[in-house]
Chains A and B, each alone.
Chain A
């Protein structure tokens, strides 16, 4: 390279660096999440999008006869093979059919007009389609990857979701899940109490090492066992938070280690496929009788398919179990309208039903002249929302933020409650009183005590 060329390159490089430096000096970050600072044109409440605003109403997605909704989530490419969006929508449609049979709300029918499959990786795109079209009043979402929830919430559109993505929900006043915001690192009474139900004394906790969240789940469970060890008489004898996702190498050495440690009860942070692999290996190594607590296996078809692999295992249920006595709760309505609409009752359909109920209750509470903003506001004033006795009461005035280990009261549930079912002959059975299937403790402390069988009708 000649001297001239070298000098020219040096000048260019220096020029580029100076330009970059100037740009860097002028750079800052936009107020993320602050709507006023976003600079975006947001869909207006009074915009006249198709399907909205006609007939005197200026609210998008609301006509004289209808209130329109969208649902988006994962249908195709779901590697877990679970039914997500389709089953979720069945619950929503069953609920809408139920309410519409009673005349709808404020003289309008509830209608699901848009259904978008995010194909696992296009959640944000689908969310933007809903925001851009601006032809629905509110949206529902049940997805494996919730990359688009903030787009809907930032647009001021009420969003009701299957709440498995804590990070995407926390602090979002316009996103409502089927439960309040959760603390992933906090201890809980669930696993220790489940252990007492099966007379456990030597407990193991397992989970995937694929992410910090998964590892934290294991840590929280392990800490819970140790925290209440004196009261429950349980000892944590084996912990593993490094399992490879999907267990491609099996789980034989880990099961051997548990056998050698004398484990008599196992808590996990694993998906249902992983639970099946674990159960198969336990069976193979003569530990088939050791009960487990499943976090994600409330799926009758799945359990039935597994034969007697899960016999005696406990499954934690996030709502009033199907097998419980419906009493005066909405469970009877759920069964009736799922049948009426030709759908099978499933866990995810129940989530859809609960979400749809909250949407309905919010519109009802906002009054005749409701808008998106007023519905969000009205919903956020509900202090004991139970979806008709289906879930532990949520206080939406303070449960958009997760509680902390040190302060369970400010943002936590008033009562810490769990419902369990146990597998017998391939079927689920409620643990305890079928008419009061919840075991509850005072939510303001983390002290141990005998739980109160509770009913939220």
Chain B
């Protein structure tokens, strides 16, 4: 009886203790649902929007000493809706009928671009220990203990109040007001809504202003939980809160609220009881060690895979949008053969010139950077297979690459294996993991595949990494995750230039393999599925098998690239290379520049590795001006601009899902055709270029 009472009391305390973090998750989950219901966008940039207001509130209130109300008005009621209106006007208005995956990619770009843009615009730098304050005086210092078991701070009580009131107000807005109905109608079909005489643009703008305001309010309320205001904390919270939003299937506000609270409470309950029980039941120890940090990701993955409603959910689409046309052919296939040949010869000559200069004049820094570019191109080809051919967005490519890298480290460390065979073993293991991962995802639609892979990436990051058979044990402690360079026969590839040659050879081989995949049965199958899963099934194609093959191939390539990256850097360097947010930027780059071609991946690799040095540091300008001394004083430009520029460039993804490079090639080919047509006495038959045609992504 006493024991039962004690457990009951502890459970009650744990529930109370889980409520404040649960409220934070609930606030973000509500924001997800609000944005999805009112705009049809699964907004991964929600955290970035929240961060913008949190930074502005911090600047105005903490740094500039403004009062609470003026700071709140400026950061939440002015800045946040303004951000929403700008995003709607410049980006999402033009994406209303775009596929959900295209919108998701754009929000990933915004999630990458907005925080550094905010930092640059406001000159904000995180300062350790300068804790953001809440919206009530002494919010972190005054506590109330309504149940005599656990006290809540004023800040926490305000957040709880806002979450509940927000849920009620938004619920009422959707249910009882005309604008609520109109917002949902615009998501369902803007064209049909306009036929009803409703100004879809205005309704959509209101929806974005509202959801952005909510993001701003959430940001200001969340910030006091962090002792240092930093953008990555917001993104991590967003990933956790997706689990709560998924509980509400992105449409139910009450379920999102309960999902968020439930998540916080489950974590607190497990943290209360698991350590205690594992003292007497040793079999619980591994569970305690590994489950608690991964609960949100396990919940998210579980909800996605097990909740039938999500598996069956069809993404919002405009019934009047018509049928998406099949992807247009690549420019190289449609333009005349002479142009293609000239382009290829010119490209090859340029690369040969670069290689000659690099191998004769390049110092170790340049060789290092170019090798990085080559290896990253290999990794990015994994995105080409999955996203370019299959139309699937995977946000765990960094994890596949990390598996390859850690495999090399482990095989060398434990068995003194040669690194090159180890790299292929790593790639094979990554392929196996990719194939396994595809099984629970086989029935999920586009955005849910992306979210599930993101959950997997965070699961690996929070749980798998610390296992000695993954991240290394005593050896890693003493020497880090070091990896040697290979020796092939008489060639010692410790020499950087020799290793670069190997990397180039492997890139060419993988590139050829990817072209083979594109032209072969696998590529045709993936294209068929991407066009219409039902139609593909009707001719005997198995979507599950095709996804399995696509994931396995993609993971193999990523794993091989990851292994090579570790060998190149002579260290796995997980945090630098493969952490989930870092790998998110990979996707942004590849889809921006071109996810359907080898060329796109190579350009993305070059951009990732060389953009800072060539452009932001002003090196190219120095070459043009023929002296580094003539580089203007504004250089070097902050490296944050790289994230901003490439992040914002994803806006182009919906218009040009084939990527900026392919779009430019088509434009150039179309111009050349027009010129030829003008010059010719009678217009020749010209293959049509689908320059302005949007391409379906899923």
Contacts and interface: CB of A to CB of B under 8 A. Distances in A.
Contact of A250 (B21, B237, B368): B21
Contacts of B13: 256
Contacts of B420: 23-24, 27
Contacts of A165: 480
A444 interface: no
Interface in B177-231: 225-230
B269 to A, nearest CB: 8
A29 B365 CA distance: 23
A302 interface: yes
A150 B271 CA distance: 40
Contact of A253 (B17, B229, B288, B582): B17
B60 interface: no
Interface in B413-435: 416, 418-421, 424
A56 interface: no
Contacts of B39: none
A37 B575 contact: no
Contact of B569 (A39, A82, A147, A244): A147
Interface string B492-504: 1111101000000
B9 to A, nearest CB: 11
Contact of A147 (B129, B225, B271, B576): B576
B552 interface: no
A254 B482 CA distance: 35
A209 B466 contact: yes
A78 B441 CA distance: 36
Nearest to A32: B484
Contact of A301 (B129, B240, B264, B288): B129
Interface stretch (A123-131, A336-344, A357-365, A386-394): A123-131
Interface stretch (A60-68, A276-284, A311-319): A276-284
Given A124-B368, A242-B292, A402-B478, A38 B494 contact: yes
Interface in B540-563: none
B122 interface: no
B128 A272 contact: yes
A37 B472 CA distance: 26
Given A37-B494, A302-B129, A167 B153 contact: no
Interface string B295-318: 000000000000000000000000
Contacts of A4: none
B697 interface: no
A231 to B, nearest CB: 26
Nearest to A27: B418
Of B10, B228, B288, B421, most buried by chain A (CB within 10 Å of CB) is: B228
Contacts of B275: 240, 257
A213 B466 CA distance: 9
Contacts of B18: 249, 252
Q: How many B residues touch the partner, as a band?
A: 35 or more
Given A128-B364, A145-B575, A248-B21, A253 B268 contact: yes
A39 B668 CA distance: 46
A180 to B, nearest CB: 15
Interface in A1-49: 1, 20, 23-24, 26-32, 37-40
A83 B129 CA distance: 11
B128 A302 contact: yes
A257 B276 contact: yes
Of A150, A184, A185, A242, most buried by chain B (CB within 10 Å of CB) is: A242
Given A27-B419, A252-B17, A211 B465 contact: yes
Contacts of B276: 257
Contact of A168 (B131, B369, B480): B480
A211 B471 contact: yes
Nearest to B420: A27
A196 interface: no
B639 interface: yes
A166 interface: yes
A39 B488 contact: no
B293 A244 contact: yes
B486 interface: yes
B462 interface: yes
B693 interface: no
B477 interface: yes
Of B10, B140, B484, most buried by chain A (CB within 10 Å of CB) is: B484
Given A125-B365, A145-B576, A167-B478, A276 B487 contact: no
B477 A213 contact: yes
Contacts of A55: none
A129 B365 contact: yes
B647 interface: no
Given A246-B233, A257-B275, A284 B293 contact: no
A273 B498 contact: no
A197 interface: no
Given A242-B289, A277-B227, A132 B271 contact: no
B533 interface: no
A398 interface: no
A213 B140 CA distance: 32
Contacts of B465: 210-211
Interface in B642-681: none
B487 A30 contact: yes
B528 interface: no
A167 B468 contact: no
Contacts of B487: 27-30
A67 B268 CA distance: 57
Contact of B236 (A167, A185, A248, A250): A248
Contacts of B638: 76
B343 interface: no
Complex A-B, nearest 10 residue pairs according to Cβ-Cβ distance, in ascending order: A81-B126, A32-B484, A252-B17, A132-B363, A167-B480, A302-B129, A27-B418, A81-B128, A81-B228, A30-B494
18 contacts: A24-B418, A27-B418, A32-B482, A32-B494, A37-B492, A81-B130, A132-B365, A132-B366, A170-B479, A211-B465, A248-B233, A249-B271, A252-B17, A253-B17, A253-B268, A253-B272, A256-B13, A285-B150
Given A30-B493, A210-B466, A244-B292, 12 more contacts: A27-B420, A32-B483, A38-B495, A40-B496, A167-B478, A167-B480, A171-B479, A242-B292, A244-B293, A284-B151, A299-B128, A305-B129
